[in-house]
Structures are given as structure tokens and as C-alpha cells.
Amino acid sequence: MMDPKSNLSYVRPMKRGEIAEAYGTGFQRRENLEAYVLSNAVVLPRRADVKCYHGIGGVLDQDGEYVEASGLSELFGGAYAYENAVESDRKVCFCGYLIFHWGHFLMEAVSRLWYALEHDSEVEAYVFVVDENSVPEVSGNYLEFFRLLGIADRLLLVNVPTRFREVTVPERAFSKLRYYSPKFADIFDAAAEAAERTTEEETFDRVYLSRNHFRGKDVESGLDFLDHYFEKNGYRILYPEEVSLGRMIRLLRAAKTVASESGTLTHNFLFMQPEKDCIIVERQATINDYQCNVDVMRGLHPAYIDANYEIYTTAVGYGPYLLAYTKWFRQFTQERGYLPPDEKYTSEAYLNQCLRKYIRACDKEYGYQRQYTAWQWIHRQTIMEAYDEALEVFRPWLEKKKPLFWWQAFQPRYVKAWVKKILKR
């Protein structure tokens, strides 16, 4: 793997430093991974617990001791008391907690499947834990991922404590900001190679992954601007939830340049070849450190663009987000020789429209209480850097020099201003 040759010219200075730091030496490459073989081990399903972000569960050895390798560091893992365990005479590979969130699925849930590439003939079933007593269905692109690896017919979801004759617990091939193994990329290369063994279909030199048809689009303002911008510059707009995983992989690998809004979408770059050119449109003031790790592991050549304005502190990874043609986007357009967006998307009317949608979404999600976490406090300078920029752009509305919503026009401050203006005339 090669380190990323990234262009950070189009992000704010403090954020630029944070991305460079995330690329740093703390994220280590590991060549060798261990696999721990346990007899008569118990697999515990996931149980909600405040101690870990995703909850507790994992593997207990035959003496009842928790196996640390079965967890996800501070995100998931830990023992709990149970009454009885179902007995199974099977020899299985423990794969971890099956997270039905595409980004976490790619980064964490499949990181032990390197073992399937090297020892498949030794495994009777691939075990994932799910919420206790739940009956989830693996479908859609989640199921297709396992089909591409050739293990879909041997998935076993554990929703009650189960004791197996033998459990192999492979080490994870990736741990955020800590280490990665080349075996992690091997998992995605194997899936991609399987996807490419299909009939030929139309491909495109430029592809843009859009969130504009995603169910969460109501918390994002400016998505239509992004679709317009990239389509005008010759990108094929792709809505990942509307195509099969295999089709998306083929398009990503055939394209010369891939662009995407930051977040889960850009984690799909794991399926691309090393040294691929890509554009990451940043939707929030703070960095996505998972993506920095993806850039390093794949040796990508990303250009980051701050296309966001930060007014309220909102939930990381959820928003709401306010996207627009920022000064950083204009600089990118000029230096790349791209076409600027139509005037409609740079007008005051459009900015006003996006701001209204953003503020409504913030009120709907948080009321008068703005979301704020200790994690955001660590990045407070980066957040304030973005807020100061937003204030310059939206000052007339934020300082109530102009009404933002129609009903505000009837407030005394605006009525008085208009009366004075009429009297002067």
C-alpha cells in the first residue's frame, strides 16, 4: 500500500492540519494477523449497554473468560451473565457484530473475513452476533457482499448464547487510527474480482456517488446543487441504493475519477484500485477519520473540498448539513478547469432556501437544544473556523438584518425598517 497523495488545498487550514495528522504515523501497517482457536467456547449475542457504543457481547472461552479479540475496542464487546446456552457441534469462524449500517459494516463488521480467503475449507459456518432474541434478515447489498465472497450460504446469525465445539476468532484486519493489514484490502479485492466476472456493461470515466435519493436526504441542504455541478462536469450520477453492489463496484473500478460526498459513501472507495483519483466533498466541519484511514490503506489520490457551512453543532455522521458553492469549491473549480454551477445555485435566493431548510431540520431534530458532545469539544477550533466562515456568508439573516422566513417580515423590527424606508422616499 502507498500513502495517499492527497490535495488538501480546498479545505480550511485547521481542518487541513487534522487530516494530515490522521494520515500520520499512529496508523501502523501490520503484516501478520493471529487467529485464536477455542474449544467449547460460548458466543454471546449483542446486548445494549452504556459501556460501549454498539453494546456488549462476543466470545467466552470454556472457562467463561471474555476473549478480547472478539470485540471492537471501545465500540463493542464484553461479557454478561446468561442462564443457558444452546449447544452446537459445529466448527465455526467468529466474525463479530453484524452492524446494519453500510459504513460500519464495511469498516468493522467484515474485517475478520480475511480468514475466509485463506481457510475457507476449514470452516463450517461464519458466525455473526446480532441483537439478542432478534430475527434479522440479511438482504440487499449486505447479502450480495457475502455472495461475492462465496460464503452467503454459510452465514449463521447468533441471537441467543450458543456454545460451539470449536470457535476460531481471527484478529481484525483493521482498527481505526491504530493499525491495518494488507489482508483488509484483500477482502474488498476478492469481492471486486467476483463482481467483475460478469457480462460487460456500460461504464463511465467520471462517476459521482449521490445521496440525493437516500432516505436521509431531508437533513441535507444543497444536494441538488451537488448533482447539478458534477453532472455539468461530465460525471455520471449514481445513487448507490438504487443499483446492486456488483454494479456499483464495476463502475467504481472502471472510472478514472470518482467523486462523492463524505461519509459512508466514500468508504465504498475500499473497492477501488490503489492510486485512484477521487474527490471527497466534505459535508461537515470536522474530519471523518475513518476515511483518512481508507485513503492510506488504498493509497488513494483524494482531493478534499469543504462544501459545508457550520452554524449549529449537530450530530457527527447525521447532521443536519448545509452544503453550498463555498469559496473552497470555487477555488477547486478554477484550478481544475471545471465549469462553475449555473447562476441559480450561487444566487442569494438559493442560499436563503438552503439555509431555511437547514434551520428547519435542526429545529426538528434538536428543538432549542443544540447537539454537542465531548468529541466536538476536542475539535472546537475547527468548528469555530467553519462557523466564522458561515457567519460572513449568512450574516444578514443570522443577525436578522433580513427576514429568513416569510412570517418574520411581520415582526416589529422589519415593519419599522420598512416604514422608515417608505417615509424617506
- Kindly give the confidence (pLDDT) of every residue in the chain, 425 residues in length, as a single tens digit, with 9 standing for 90 and above: 446 789 999 999 999 999 999 998 789 999 999 999 999 999 999 999 988 889 999 999 999 999 999 999 889 999 999 999 999 999 999 999 999 999 999 999 999 999 999 999 999 999 999 999 999 999 999 999 999 999 999 999 999 999 999 999 999 999 999 999 999 999 999 999 999 987 778 899 999 999 999 877 789 999 999 999 999 999 999 999 999 999 999 999 999 999 999 999 999 999 999 999 999 999 999 999 999 999 999 999 999 999 999 999 888 888 899 999 999 999 999 999 999 999 999 999 999 999 999 999 999 988 888 777 777 888 889 999 999 999 999 999 988 888 888 888 888 888 888 888 888 88
Same domain, 147 and 244: no
> The sheet that has 301-306: what strands, in order across it?
7-10, 301-306, 277-282, 257-261, 206-209, 236-238
Burial environment of residue 334 by CB neighbours within 10 A (0 to 12, 13 to 18, 19 or more): exposed
Residue 108 lies in a domain: yes
59 close to 127: Cβ distance less than 8 angstroms: no
**Residue holding cell 481471527?**
170
Answer whether 97's CB lies under 8 Å from 59's CB.
no
Q: 172, 190, 220: which is the final residue of a domain?
A: 172
Is 149 in contact with 187 (CB distance < 8 Å)? Answer: yes
185 lies in some domain: no
Residues 248 and 347 in one domain: yes
- 166 shares its domain with 217: no
Same domain, 82 and 165: yes
In a domain, 418, yes or no: no
344/328 Cα distance (integer angstroms)? 19
Residues pairing with 88 in the sheet:
164
Q: Tell me the three state secondary structure of residue 99.
A: coil
Dmax over CA atoms of the chain, in Å, equals 91
Domain housing 221: 7-26+201-409
**Same domain, yes or no: 316 and 252:** yes
> Does the residue 421 lie in any domain?
no
Candidates 209, 176, 172; CA nearest to 288 is 176
Closest CA to 161 of 72, 83, 78, 85: 85
82 and 102 housed in the same domain: yes
Indicate whether 55 and 120 sit together in one domain. Answer: yes
Whether 416 maps to a domain, the answer reads: no
The reply to whether 420 falls in a domain is no
* Confidence at residue 3, expressed as pLDDT on a 0 to 100 scale: 60
Measured between alpha carbons, how far is 313 from 362 in angstroms, rounded to an integer? 9
Could you tell me if 222 and 366 lie in one domain?
A: yes
Tell me, yes or no, whether 117 lies in a domain.
Answer: yes
The answer on 168 and 282 residing in a single domain is no
Q: Which three cell numbers stand for residue 125?
A: 459456518
Q: Is 189 exposed, middle or buried (0-12, 13-18, 19+ CB in 10 A)?
A: middle
3-state secondary structure of 238: strand
Instruction: State how many domains the chain has.
Output: 2
Element of type H or E holding 327: helix 327-336
**Does 394 reside within a domain?**
yes
Residues 271 and 398 in one domain: yes
CB 259 within 8 A of CB 10: no
Which pLDDT value is given to residue 424? 87
Beta bridge partners of 221: 322
Give the separation between CA 243 and CA 276, rounded to whole angstroms.
22
How far is it, in rounded angstroms, from Cα 340 to Cα 337? Answer: 9
Contact 169, 197 (CB under 8 A): no
Both 156 and 214 in one domain: the answer is no
Q: Report the DSSP pairing between strands 162-170 and 35-47.
A: antiparallel
- The verdict on 163 and 210 lying in the same domain is no
What pLDDT is attached to residue 420?
Answer: 86
